[in-house]
Structure 1
Amino acid sequence: MTRPKKRFQQLIEEIDRTPWGPAEQALVSEAVALAIEIGDEQLEYQARMRQTASANMGGATDVMLNSFAWCLAHHDADPQRFPADLDNGGADLMWQFKWMASALRSSPAFSTEQITAVLDDMESHYRTAGLGLSGVLTARFEDAWDAGRIDDAEALRVQLEATPRDDHSHCDACGRSQFAGFFADTDRDDDAIRLVEEMIEGGFSCGEEPEHALSRVLLPYLRAGRFDEAKSAHLRSYRLAKDNPDNLRIVANNIVFAAVTGNEARALALIERHIAWLAHDGLNVDAHFAALSAFAVALDRVTAAGHGGTPVRGADAAALVPLFGAHSGPWSAQDLAAASWAAAERIGAAFDQRDETSGHARSLERMRALAAEQYDVPIRSDAFVAAPAANTPQDAEGWFERASELAQYGAEHETLAALPRALEVEDAAKRAQLQSMRIGILVALDRADEAAALLSARIEALREAGLDAQADLESRLGLATFGLNTPDATEMLEHELAASDSLPAWSRGDLALSRASLHLREDEPAAALDLAEQAARHFAEAADPRLSNTTTLLALSAVLNTGDMDAASVLLERFLAQDDLGIGHRARALQTRARMRGGSEQFAEGAADADEACRLLAGLGATTALGSAHLLAGALWEDAGEPEQAVARYRVAARFAEQDGGDATAVNFRLARGMLSAGDAEEAAELFGTVLEREEQSDVPAGSRAMTASMLARALAASGEYGQSVGAYGYAAELFGEAEQLADQAMAMLERAKILARFDEHEDAIEQLESAAEIVRKDPEAVGTLADVLHNLGQAYGGQQDDRAFALFDEVASLAQQHDAGWLLADVTDSRGRALGAFGRIDEAVAAALTAADAFSALGDEGSAGGSELFAARLLSGSERAADAVPLYRAALERGTQIPPLRQVSALELGDVLEQLGRDGEAAEVRALIES
């Protein structure tokens, strides 16, 4: 068993290498508790110093205040035993002082005198310790700004800029962000943007930067007409901020952005996602004020867009009652907007009363003034789903038709919802039909007890309609004719079928259809098809086109299960050509044809069928069915190479899933993938991040999470977020390894290495590739991945003049020859030439490059062929063999006839070479080709 002090040291080491978050907070709490148990105040000081920082980053203000007060008291009593700086790379006690005044200012429960006392105490400690006053001036500036004393804040800002920086000044990221926020708040948008862009270009970052700074310039960017920069800043800011409840202000800024840019559905989604954060930190009331005013602005926009009645999920949580007040039922957007304004006004008034200013009232005025601002910056990850364009039936007969059509399609839940009003019809035969639908659906939903309780009503309706033979049959069979799949039910069906000659045609058809359905469920398509044909003849004799068509659809399923696609296609086309099809049957048949067309790679045609099915289902009000129909349409449009069309369908499918309380994670993965294909990489990255978060919360298998993480990495790289992409690829590789998907693990490491090499991190890139090669060699089936990894590793070795490159190129060439991969063979030959060039082996390099060019040309890839020739020409020209380079430049120039970039570069460089050779006329002729 580990001794307590040794365990404590292990905890401290683990805390110092664990990122901020729940895991780190748990470690800190354990360390504090263990130090108290040991009874060693010096150990407790080490733990509590870390606890102050952890609580600051996690938004636990009460913990932070208590922890800091404990540490400061012990430091003041004995600075030697309890030094201000533990030299652990974290914030020291004097740095933490800056958080205290801000924490007190964030709640009106603390008086101005208390805040002033902390600021004065801070300055006294700084002077006693011989520290510069930059940190103190920063705290006083923040205090004046937050209190609404703008003139004082401006004077302090000027003084702060003139004060030399020291170890307790804000870092470059935080300092620029803070002043940018002040400039934006005082209508100096250009200065705000300048500071943030300096920060981004300099690569400055910190605990909540650059996400806070980016959120502060969203409105300035919009007002400057720089919509693309605003959108990118929003997506990046929100993606970085969305997982930490202490970032409530940042999220609030992003909600306002969504509201004023026409993205009301997104604004509502963000409110629903983060409204619970209002209860996270009871002392950070100023952040509540910012969030509530942002919610109010956004919900007013949602109402103005015609969706004021939309329920706001999560708003009725008990923890939020102190803010919004008691409310009966779910909060609508319109009602919650009013409650948010009221709460913000109440909180703002409390702050202004304490501060004896009108700072918060001014902030509310600025927020209300946003009603006059509107910008068009579409973001497509969220959208309102319009209610299906269905006419509401006006009487029981209309509801009977609606229920029948829904049942024909197979929309079980919508059919059940329509049945109560439909059952008011006077016609007993129709009531019997409706009861049959209800019983069949309940059996299908494994609610057999409920179904059995309805049999008497069904039989009574049959007798009232004069259908005594059917009533007698169902009295004997019970639920057997409604899909109950038990040995007894099957035996009874078989018995009745054998003795059915005396029954009416309709009853004979019903028995045959019931038994055919069971055969189909038991994967006996031939038997199902035989009985379906019998049922069809009986229903035709009974003149019941509805059940004749139902039977045809079952027969179609049976034919599909046999794998005879040609026969299925003929049957389906004949079925769709009928003029007696109901809407439900047509929609079901169109969806079937859509899937068949997808299977035969007629993706666009299948997508059109799926779209038409969506239109028909919308007319029936089949919202649950519509979600899956749009998902099918999206998948087919995606396969058809039309990501824009796919995104539109996936977005609707996702929203329907969310509205029905279902899990939209799988749909959102497809939506994000479609966005990435459509070029919306930043939006895709945000959505992939959300999908990954939900998968982790749901304990999705490692392999699935790995796929999401790798897609997230791709989207981040396409967004220019290379640092985060490297991290995401690393995480994907870990997950693929956990899932023992070796080829995928190696590919994730390969992509990670490519990014590292792009930023000249060659040693790290080579280390990744070497590990990837070792991993992928364990999978004998992953020949393509092995070739990719070895080829890239060879190129990396070649770039570092490591002759191990050539053995790898030989191995890749051998794999290419074994598998008739002609283009790969040409490409690795080109790589060999470039590596030889790096070694200064010019003749060998030129020979390899020209061999590659010939191979590329034989495969019809003139661009790559010209690239190899251009490389060879450059080698010769750089080796003082300009005359030898000329014909190679001309060959590349000729290949570039249909490739403008190759033609332009070749002509430009050839002109320079000819001029060096004194062939000025030829040089002029070649250069003229650039302009032509």
Structure 2
Amino acid sequence: MSRSGAELAAMLEQARRMGHGEAQTALLEDLVRHADAGGLHRLAFAARRSLANAYSVGRQWDKAFPLFSRCLSEYDARPGEFGPEEDWSLRNWYASIAQSMAEFPEISLAQIYGAFEDMERRFRAGGHSLRQVYDARRWVAQLARDWPEEERCHQQWEAAGGPDPDSVWDFEVQVERLVLRGDDASVARALALAGPVLAGEVTFTEPSAPIQCLMLLPLARAGRLEEAAKAFNRARRAMYQGVYRYEYGGMKIEFCALTGNEETGLSALREQLAGFPTLNRPNGKMEFATAAAVLLRRLTAAGRGDETVRANGSDLTWSVAELCHEMESTARDLAARFDARNGTTCQGDRIRARLTAPPVVDFLPLSPGARRPVRLEIPPGLPPEALLDRAEWHERRDEPALARRYVAAVGTPPPHLAARHAELTALTDSEQAEERFRWAAEAYRQAGDQQRYLLCTCRLGNWLCKQDRFHEGLPMVTWAVGELRRTGRHELIARGELLHARSLSWAGKVPKAYQTLANGVRHALACGDPILIGSLALTEGTWREFDRFPPAQVIGLADTARQAFAAAASPGQLVRAFELRRRSHERAGAPHHFTDLVEHELATLPPSAPAQLRGYLRYRRGVALILSGRAADALDDLIDGVGEARSRDADTAEQGYQLAVAYRAAGRAEDAMETAADVAAWLDHLRELGKLAEPDMADWNRLLLAECHQILGHHASALEEYEKVAASARGRNDARLLLQALMPLAKIHDLLDEDAEAAATYREAADAAAGLGDVHVAAICRASEALSLQRTGDVERALAVLAQAEAMTGALPAEPAERLPQTWAITFRSAAHVLSAAGRLQEAADRAARAATAFRQVGEVTDATTMDFLHARTLVRLGRPDLAEPLLRAIIEAAGQETPLHQAAARALAETLEQLRRSAGPSRSAPNG
């Protein structure tokens, strides 16, 4: 079925508005077919151009070549049907295509240079600047590492106009060529050139992420580590919001690999792995594969070759070692193909050097307080039995991740250890736990190991109860514990009683569970095992806290657990005992008692104290400082505490939020933004699952994130975050939160001259404030709505809303008196502008004067002077320049020299004096006319 030109044009516009993806590509392919069938050559040309972009974003770069060839031949065959727009588009596209050709080693240099000759001929024939031609030639010479030719083309490019000062991509040309040359002098020039961009002193119409990525390793190698970390974080943030070539992601990955940030690099690699197999641009594939191989080689050398790597959003998985081999082979093969095409060894030499480059530093913190991740290094050569002993040791200390690594290190266990291996695997990995427990228990029974058989049966029954299968599990645990009691071994009985008590608790038999715990405590004390003593006390204390027993009882149990776990050198369980005491003090309404305990513990901690305990205590002191209104003072404690937790991959979303609060209070808006952004989605997810202790924290974090974006001038991001908070508040009918989001949201709309959006936002904010009974804010929002409506040109509606605002202001209560001037000031300011636009000049002059007085009452001198100026201008329009003159002179005296207000007032005074002279008539000394 044929479509009209108007329909196809609408389809093209629809496709251009769509996000990149399969749907957009399919629509454009359909559009090209219909345009060709209908003989709509100009429309087909535009559609092919858009389709080529879509293919490139979709990593199918090779598909752009035939599209360009068709457009070029159509243009040559029908020159009269195309206009200047197609001519301009074709020239730009030709330069891009010629560069892309060089990225495919199967395209010969003769073909590439032939394309350049044809392109240059066309540019010259049309009388166009050869700037793009020289730029494309320069890039191809750079790709071949022909530096003399690159320099010659660069000079020609500079002479033909050089870089567009607003284009980040033109600036990248100047930096990249120096970085890739690699000699000390070139890198030093690159650092000097990029410095103002990295510092934010020079900006472009697009983010500076390409420059930041290029400079990561040069900065690190120059010892400018803090700048390198900042560039990394800024690039990462910008690249979340845009589509960038794979090379830029590769630069971040390689930087992480060479600065001790392998985990961050691995996370970045996972993000891009799903699309890598379909990336059909050999040069980009070679660059990314090299960067990935650098990281994966380091992970393999660290003994992590067997770890699984899964591509985000995909079922694609590899082991680290397998993926390393694949990436390295890809990089080396493509480099060889490029060298064969170019007749050099430059690419191969460069790739080999990158693959074997030593680390730049042992560890570069990417955020303040960051630490190198703590990884358990299993001593080589340990026999399977020793590995399982160590796994049991960690499992008893409730450290399943560490226990799991020791179990995995065993590999295939010898037959006599198979049951222990299966049981420990079940304890540390929930997958197939039931089958493993059952197999292990039966293996113990057949081997005649009665004690292990009974304890494993307890664990199986306990696991079944945890899955709500009480009718199976509870009789099993009850029988096994009864048999354990017959052994007379206190340690085994205490373990069994603890498992029995937990099973009873899950089955809802709470009184019996408490009695069973008490039995377990007696046996634990008899054997003196501190892990058992602490575990029983911590379990009972946690239950009693949940059941609202007197806090003193819980605190006593928490202290028993603390002492036992300290003696057992079990820091994770020790921290949990501290947490139990904290919750009890908070329930008792005496959190300061816990703060005092934290201070005492920090003051008396020996240097050998576990880092986990020290980090926890510092974090808790930091939170206490925030709650006491000293958020800025909390920063050092929180950096240390959160950094320690992150080093173990044990940090929480709540910790990230508290750290962001402290950064913001200390005036470090960028650090606060980065931290809040990292945990925003995490907090939202926890709230959805009902696992956030303070559900509003997700919104507080987004408010803080939006505020930081606003401070840093990221208005689009700030709008997005405020909108998310507003949507959350609407969904939960939280008028107070809604107002907190809408007020700054409206102000940003104001700043961006989005007056209709500002008016609507102020209107909703006014309604929210009125619902809360805050008549001052409601009046201010109505007045601001009126001003925004006036700016849209809807003066009639603005006057109606202004009448509401002034009525609300007139009815304000006398108390609190300190709020009145601010409300008056904003209302009268809006009234002055709206009434002036409506031609009600006398009223406008009155409101301007009253606004100036009110602003001075609240110390807003600049706003007061601005209202004086409006007052003066309105008086002139009223025909009273004599009253305007002293106001203007006062403004000139008060406003700073060379400020816009000073200059405007000076011009207005000159006009006013001229009007006064005219109104006075001819002077007596003037000659007769």
- After TM superposition, the score normalised by the length of structure 1 is 0.67
Q: CA deviation at 1:746?
A: 5.5
Q: CA deviation at 1:463?
A: 8.2
**Structure 2 vs 1, CA of residues 571 and 234 (structure 1 numbering), >3 Å: closer, same or farther?**
closer
Are positions 1:768 and 2:758 aligned together? yes
2:61 match: 61
**Structure 2 vs 1, CA of residues 738 and 454 (structure 1 numbering), >3 Å: closer, same or farther?**
same
1:249 to 247, 250, 263: 247
**Structure 2 vs 1, CA of residues 665 and 829 (structure 1 numbering), >3 Å: closer, same or farther?**
same
Are positions 1:70 and 2:70 aligned together? yes
Are positions 1:562 and 2:547 aligned together? yes
Q: CA deviation at 1:673?
A: 7.0
1:929 match: none
2:743 match: 750
Which structure 1 residue ranges, 5 or more long, are not aligned? 319-326, 423-427, 621-625, 853-866, 890-932
2:904 match: none
Q: Could you tell me how far apart the structure 2 residues matched to 1:579 and 1:103 are?
A: 64
2:538 match: 553
Summarize the alignment of residues 500-519 of structure 1 with structure 2, pairs less than 5 Å apart: 516-518=501-503
1:178 match: 173
Q: Is the 8 A contact 1:769 1:792 kept in 2?
A: no
**Structure 2 vs 1, CA of residues 443 and 793 (structure 1 numbering), >3 Å: closer, same or farther?**
same
Q: Is the 8 A contact 1:272 1:312 kept in 2?
A: no
Are positions 1:291 and 2:278 aligned together? no
Q: Could you tell me how far apart the structure 2 residues matched to 1:252 and 1:392 are?
A: 33
Summarize the alignment of residues 46-445 of structure 1 with structure 2, pairs less than 5 Å apart: 46-81=46-81, 85=85, 92-163=89-160, 172-185=167-180, 187-188=185-186, 189-190=188-189, 193-194=192-193, 197=196, 203-206=203-206, 210-218=208-216, 231-241=229-239, 246-255=244-253, 257-258=255-256, 266-267=264-265, 269-274=267-272, 278-282=276-280, 284-295=281-292, 308-311=302-305, 330-331=320-321, 344=331, 346-356=333-343, 360=347, 378-380=365-367, 384-388=372-376, 406=394, 408-411=396-399, 441=427
1:895 match: none
Q: CA deviation at 1:695?
A: 10
**Structure 2 vs 1, CA of residues 577 and 404 (structure 1 numbering), >3 Å: closer, same or farther?**
same
Q: Could you tell me how far apart the structure 2 residues matched to 1:258 and 1:812 are?
A: 58
Q: Could you tell me how far apart the structure 1 residues matched to 2:358 and 2:37 are?
A: 57
Q: CA deviation at 1:102?
A: 0.6
Are positions 1:572 and 2:558 aligned together? yes
Question: Which amino acid is the alignment partner of residue 774 of structure 1?
Answer: E
Q: Could you tell me how far apart the structure 1 residues matched to 2:247 and 2:53 are?
A: 19
Question: Which amino acid is the alignment partner of residue 771 of structure 1?
Answer: T
Q: Is the 8 A contact 2:545 2:551 kept in 1?
A: yes
Q: Could you tell me how far apart the structure 1 residues matched to 2:426 and 2:91 are?
A: 73
* SS in structure 2 of the partner of residue 331 of structure 1: helix
Summarize the alignment of residues 715-794 of structure 1 with structure 2, pairs less than 5 Å apart: 715-730=708-723, 744=737, 747-757=740-750, 760-761=751-752, 763-764=753-754, 767-768=757-758, 770-771=760-761, 773-774=763-764, 777=767, 791=780, 794=783
Q: Could you tell me how far apart the structure 2 residues matched to 1:717 and 1:730 are?
A: 13
Q: Is the 8 A contact 1:292 1:340 kept in 2?
A: yes
Q: Could you tell me how far apart the structure 2 residues matched to 1:592 and 1:109 are?
A: 67
2:514 match: 529
Q: Could you tell me how far apart the structure 1 residues matched to 2:557 and 2:821 are?
A: 50
**Structure 2 vs 1, CA of residues 671 and 75 (structure 1 numbering), >3 Å: closer, same or farther?**
farther
Q: Could you tell me how far apart the structure 2 residues matched to 1:568 and 1:340 are?
A: 56
1:623-665 C-alpha deviation (Å, 9 max, x unpaired): xxx8x9989985774565434444455456556559xxxx998
1:915 match: none
1:282-339 C-alpha deviation (Å, 9 max, x unpaired): 2x22233433554566678x58xx9743449777989xxxxxxxx9953299x76xx8
Which structure 2 residue ranges, 5 or more long, are not aligned? 411-415, 627-633, 690-694, 792-797, 834-844, 873-883, 895-929
* SS in structure 1 of the partner of residue 245 of structure 2: helix
- How many residues in Structure 1 have an aligned counterpart in Structure 2? 822
Q: Could you tell me how far apart the structure 2 residues matched to 1:225 and 1:509 are?
A: 57
Q: Could you tell me how far apart the structure 2 residues matched to 1:418 and 1:216 are?
A: 41
* SS in structure 1 of the partner of residue 303 of structure 2: coil
- After TM superposition, the score normalised by the length of structure 2 is 0.67
Q: Could you tell me how far apart the structure 1 residues matched to 2:360 and 2:525 are?
A: 65
1:593 match: 581
**Structure 2 vs 1, CA of residues 673 and 123 (structure 1 numbering), >3 Å: closer, same or farther?**
farther
Question: Which amino acid is the alignment partner of residue 239 of structure 1?
Answer: R
Question: Which amino acid is the alignment partner of residue 94 of structure 1?
Answer: R
Q: Is the 8 A contact 1:536 1:551 kept in 2?
A: yes
Question: Which amino acid is the alignment partner of residue 177 of structure 2?
Answer: F
Q: Is the 8 A contact 1:102 1:143 kept in 2?
A: yes
Q: Is the 8 A contact 2:615 2:645 kept in 1?
A: yes
1:69-117 C-alpha deviation (Å, 9 max, x unpaired): 2222222222344657369xxx722221111111111121111111012
Q: Is the 8 A contact 2:266 2:295 kept in 1?
A: yes
1:859 match: none
Q: CA deviation at 1:65?
A: 1.3
Q: Is the 8 A contact 2:470 2:507 kept in 1?
A: no
Q: Could you tell me how far apart the structure 2 residues matched to 1:365 and 1:82 are?
A: 49
Q: Could you tell me how far apart the structure 1 residues matched to 2:254 and 2:777 are?
A: 46
Q: CA deviation at 1:62?
A: 1.1
1:908 match: none
**Structure 2 vs 1, CA of residues 347 and 695 (structure 1 numbering), >3 Å: closer, same or farther?**
farther
Q: Is the 8 A contact 2:461 2:474 kept in 1?
A: no
Higher RCO (CA 8 Å, separation ≥ 6 residues): 1
**Structure 2 vs 1, CA of residues 42 and 446 (structure 1 numbering), >3 Å: closer, same or farther?**
same
Summarize the alignment of residues 878-917 of structure 1 with structure 2, pairs less than 5 Å apart: none
2:899 match: none
* SS in structure 2 of the partner of residue 92 of structure 1: helix
Q: CA deviation at 1:262?
A: 6.4
Q: Could you tell me how far apart the structure 1 residues matched to 2:179 and 2:614 are?
A: 46
Q: Is the 8 A contact 2:825 2:854 kept in 1?
A: yes
Question: Which amino acid is the alignment partner of residue 552 of structure 2?
Answer: D
2:898 match: none
Q: Is the 8 A contact 1:400 1:419 kept in 2?
A: yes
Question: Which amino acid is the alignment partner of residue 160 of structure 1?
Answer: W
2:505 to 510, 520, 542: 520
Q: CA deviation at 1:247?
A: 1.8
1:753-791 C-alpha deviation (Å, 9 max, x unpaired): 33454xx43x4267335325327736987667x976864
Q: Could you tell me how far apart the structure 2 residues matched to 1:220 and 1:729 are?
A: 37
**Structure 2 vs 1, CA of residues 16 and 397 (structure 1 numbering), >3 Å: closer, same or farther?**
closer
* SS in structure 2 of the partner of residue 777 of structure 1: helix
Q: CA deviation at 1:442?
A: 9.2
Q: Could you tell me how far apart the structure 1 residues matched to 2:851 and 2:310 are?
A: 72
Question: Which amino acid is the alignment partner of residue 235 of structure 2?
Answer: S
